[in-house]
Chains A and B, each alone.
Chain A
Amino acid sequence: MSSESMGLPLEKAQEAAIKSLSSKKEDASETAKPYLDQEMLIGLIDIASQSKFDDSPLVMKQKIRKLIKSRIRKED
């Protein structure tokens, strides 16, 4: 038994996320808007696709927070 890849069908998940971004960004808070872009969404999908069963919910939260913080600092 073997598996060749982990996670979701990446492209479809990214497509869905980018479509959601387009439809929801206008409703987002002004503070958040500058950071809501494809880069951020692709980063989130990557985290989802790379999640392993060894990862606790805490690990996933840490990864996402790290992603968000790095974007904030990058923008600043």
Chain B
Amino acid sequence: MTDFMPYIGTQEVDFSVSPGAPIILIEGENNRGKSSLFTAIRWCLYGRALDRSSKAVQDQFLLNDNAYDLGRDNFEVQLSFSNDDDNYLLTRTCSVKRDAKGKRSGSTVRTFLHRNRDAISTEDIPRYINEVLDESISMFFLADMEILKNYETLVEDDSKAAVEVKSAIEDILGIPSLISVRDALKEIVDDTYKEIQKKKKENSEKSELEQKIAEQTSKKSNAKSQYETASASMAEKKREHEELTSKLAKIADATELIEREKTLIEKNENDLKSIDKLRKEIQVALHESWWAPVSTQVELKEKQTRDQTKLASQRHQSLSEKKFKLTSLENSLVTNKCSECQQDLPIASREETKSAIEDLRSEIIEMSKPLIPSLESLVDESRRLSLFSMPRKAEVIRSLERQIRILQNDAPKRRQEIKEISIALQGVNKDEIKNLEIQRQNKDREIGMVGVIIRSESTKLANAEKELTVLNRKYLDAPKSAGDMEISTEMAIASSLQEIMEDTVARFRIEMKKTVEKNATEIFAFLGSENVFKKLQINENYGLRLVDNKGQVFDHKSAGTAQVIAISLILALAKSAARSNALVLDTPFARLDETHRDNVLKLLSRDSKQSILLIQSAEKISKEIEPEFRKHVSRTYKISMGADPKESTIALKKQV
């Protein structure tokens, strides 16, 4: 510890003990620092310090006054200990705040805990410390005898403090462990009950699943059966279809011829119908073309016009030539030279030329006469006649007649072909072929219908299989019913065990009370010298009362007796405890006479595992027991005044 209460600077105390020497003795004068050392241990463990009147002391006032005056604001206590083979290092430090006037105005405390060198988180530290020594039971192990002197009266009511003390005693005796088992069993009963209810629900769901699986299996089976039947039927029909196709293939040529014949006959019939129709149309056209002769005349006139035009053209050409020839001949007579060779014309030739000229003139005159009939008259007449003609109808009739001729042209060929086919088909059963064809068409339809059935059943089958897969997976995932019986049994066992543990807790509590009572009585008897007391009696509240030899409860008034009873209880609890903790006893002998003091020391030397005794220096150990007692002391420390009355130091005392 550093600068804690009267201890200035760093002070270190070793509490470890050697085998056979379980005592650490710390001596000090009154107000020198024994209780401060006790407070240092308590403050380090739980962060709380109490003054002599059991009131809490604020942390900032735990800092040594001189250290504070020297400007030091921090103090610290560090505790090293082991528990259940785990090593702990607990450090609690406090930083004190100063106000403007330099007075202590508050503090900040920080705590560090390492377990086996692992740092424990700050929030978990109280939990770990209470596991080592729960604060509620610490009063029996960190025993300030000033506080415990009125122990008997403390437990005799239902106050919070009394309940805490009783609870602490039960804790020491290990009763809560049994209670926690009983409570755990109760929870197991509740849990298993819930699990059974859940199982029941799951089983119900499972039954539903089984029913659904059965339904789907039936559906699947039906669909499969239908599918197989349809597939077989399909195979049969396809086979029949193939047979029909095969038969038809064998007579394919005849079939083709029949088809051809049928086509030709149909064509013929259609042509005849068409010819009839065309003829009717011609009749109608003829009826409408009653002036047909006029039309013929128009055509005649047009022909004449074309002939006359041609003739006129020829005449015009010929006339031009003749006129040219005449001119040439006339020039020859004038020039007396041949128009062709330019030689002088002989007289004979002149005459011939004159004659030729005369002929030409006659011909020209003749050719210059108008044509009869004249072109103009022909054109006029043709135009006049055309007003009465309907050349379009004639064209229609001609077109219709052409169509009839075309149709009629094809007919002989077809008739010939039909005749040839008829000869080829002699001996062929046309009805049979027709029947086969009808059967094949029917088979096609049947195959189509069966195909629809197959597709439908196939879909049903696939759906059923899909649904079954899902249901089976759910069924497999569902909890197995094999554990149902086990859970019921577990619940029954837990329920019975809970009742047994309830009874066990009560019995164990009675037994432990008896044990504490017995141990306390033995310790009390060992510590005392009086023979007037028969025993210490424990009551329902763990209160210890003295019973005299007559069996009457003895209402003692002595503070010393109260302290012996308290020490008896502490040592009895330590002896009966579920766990063994070190004892730190602050001024245990304050009210005890020498005999009791010696007996306490003897007892601690003999029975305790580790006891730290904080005693007054004035409390001398009797010479009778001291040599033996010292053998059981591992170390003795002496608390002394430091350089200043406000300072104390603690140091190993040299053995004399």
Interface string of A1-18 (1 = CB under 8 A from B): 111111111001101110
Residue of B nearest to A4 (CB): B580
B530 to chain A, nearest CB (A): 30
B82–A1 touching, CB < 8 Å = yes
Residue B462 at the chain A interface, CB threshold 8 Å: no
Query: Which residues of chain B from 490 to 520 have a CB within 8 Å of any chain A CB?
Result: 490, 492-497, 499-501, 503-504, 507-508, 511-512, 515
B579–A5 touching, CB < 8 Å = yes
B572 to chain A, nearest CB (A): 13
Chain A residues closer than 8 Å to B492, beta-carbon distance: 29, 31-32
Instruction: Using A2-B81, A31-B492 as known contacts, say yes or no to A9 and B174 having CB atoms under 8 A apart.
Output: yes
Instruction: Using A8-B173, A31-B492 as known contacts, say yes or no to A3 and B486 having CB atoms under 8 A apart.
Output: no
B499 to chain A, nearest CB (A): 6
A7 to chain B, nearest CB (A): 6
Chain A residues closer than 8 Å to B133, beta-carbon distance: 1
Residue A74 at the chain B interface, CB threshold 8 Å: no
| Bound-complex Cα distance A33 to B187 (A) | 20
Residue B489 at the chain A interface, CB threshold 8 Å: yes
A45 to chain B, nearest CB (A): 8
Secondary structure type dominating chain B contacts: helix
Residue B184 at the chain A interface, CB threshold 8 Å: yes
Query: Which one of B84, B173, B610 lies within 8 Å of A6 (CB-CB)?
Result: B84
B495–A29 touching, CB < 8 Å = yes
Instruction: Using A1-B83, A32-B489 as known contacts, say yes or no to A64 and B500 having CB atoms under 8 A apart.
Output: no
A56 to chain B, nearest CB (A): 11
B578–A8 touching, CB < 8 Å = yes
Chain A residues closer than 8 Å to B490, beta-carbon distance: 65, 68-69, 72
Query: Which one of A9, A35, A48 lies within 8 Å of B181 (CB-CB)?
Result: A48
A57–B187 touching, CB < 8 Å = yes
Residue of A nearest to B41 (CB): A1
Residue B89 at the chain A interface, CB threshold 8 Å: no
Residue A27 at the chain B interface, CB threshold 8 Å: yes
A16–B508 touching, CB < 8 Å = yes
Most buried by A among B128, B178, B183: B178
| Bound-complex Cα distance A17 to B428 (A) | 112
A9 to chain B, nearest CB (A): 6
Query: Which residues of chain A from 30 to 76 have a CB within 8 Å of any chain B CB?
Result: 31-33, 35-36, 40-41, 44-45, 47-49, 51-53, 57, 60-61, 64-65, 68-69, 71-73
Residue B43 at the chain A interface, CB threshold 8 Å: no
Residue of A nearest to B508 (CB): A16
A51 to chain B, nearest CB (A): 6
Residue of B nearest to A21 (CB): B500
A20–B501 touching, CB < 8 Å = yes
Interface string of B418-437 (1 = CB under 8 A from A): 00000000000000000000
| Bound-complex Cα distance A51 to B171 (A) | 13
B86 to chain A, nearest CB (A): 10
A21 to chain B, nearest CB (A): 6
Interface string of B174-197 (1 = CB under 8 A from A): 110110110111011001000000
Query: Which one of A5, A9, A27, A57 lies within 8 Å of B180 (CB-CB)?
Result: A57
Residue of A nearest to B82 (CB): A2
| Bound-complex Cα distance A64 to B497 (A) | 10
B576–A9 touching, CB < 8 Å = yes
A57–B183 touching, CB < 8 Å = yes
Residue of A nearest to B583 (CB): A1
A8–B180 touching, CB < 8 Å = no
Instruction: Using A16-B507, A48-B177, A49-B177 as known contacts, say yes or no to A68 and B83 having CB atoms under 8 A apart.
Output: no
Residue B46 at the chain A interface, CB threshold 8 Å: no
Residue of B nearest to A15 (CB): B511
Query: Which residues of chain B from 93 to 149 have a CB within 8 Å of any chain A CB?
Result: 127-128, 130-133
Chain B residues closer than 8 Å to A33, beta-carbon distance: 496
B498 to chain A, nearest CB (A): 10
| Bound-complex Cα distance A61 to B182 (A) | 10
B181–A16 touching, CB < 8 Å = no
Chain A residues closer than 8 Å to B578, beta-carbon distance: 5-9, 49
B180 to chain A, nearest CB (A): 6
| Bound-complex Cα distance A51 to B18 (A) | 30
Query: Which one of A6, A7, A27, A57 lies within 8 Å of B499 (CB-CB)?
Result: A27
A75 to chain B, nearest CB (A): 9
A1–B610 touching, CB < 8 Å = yes
B32 to chain A, nearest CB (A): 24
Query: Which one of A3, A9, A17, A32 lies within 8 Å of B83 (CB-CB)?
Result: A3
Most buried by A among B177, B187, B191: B177
Residue B648 at the chain A interface, CB threshold 8 Å: no
Most buried by A among B174, B486, B494, B609: B174
A-B contact pairs, 24 of them (CB 8 A): A1-B82, A1-B132, A1-B581, A2-B610, A3-B83, A5-B579, A6-B84, A7-B177, A9-B578, A24-B496, A31-B488, A36-B496, A36-B497, A41-B497, A44-B497, A47-B181, A53-B131, A57-B180, A64-B184, A64-B494, A65-B188, A68-B490, A68-B493, A69-B490
Interface residues of B (CB under 8 A from A): 15, 81-84, 127-128, 130-133, 173-175, 177-178, 180-181, 183-185, 187-188, 191, 486, 488-490, 492-497, 499-501, 503-504, 507-508, 511-512, 515, 576, 578-582, 609-610
Q: Which 3 A-B residue pairs are closest in the complex by CB-CB distance?
A: A8-B174, A53-B131, A20-B503
Interface residues of A (CB under 8 A from B): 1-9, 12-13, 15-17, 19-21, 23-25, 27-29, 31-33, 35-36, 40-41, 44-45, 47-49, 51-53, 57, 60-61, 64-65, 68-69, 71-73
Besides A6-B579, A13-B174, A36-B496, 16 new A-B residue pairs in contact (Cβ under 8 A), listed by A number: A1-B15, A5-B579, A6-B84, A6-B578, A8-B175, A9-B173, A16-B504, A19-B507, A20-B504, A21-B500, A25-B496, A33-B496, A53-B127, A57-B187, A64-B184, A72-B490
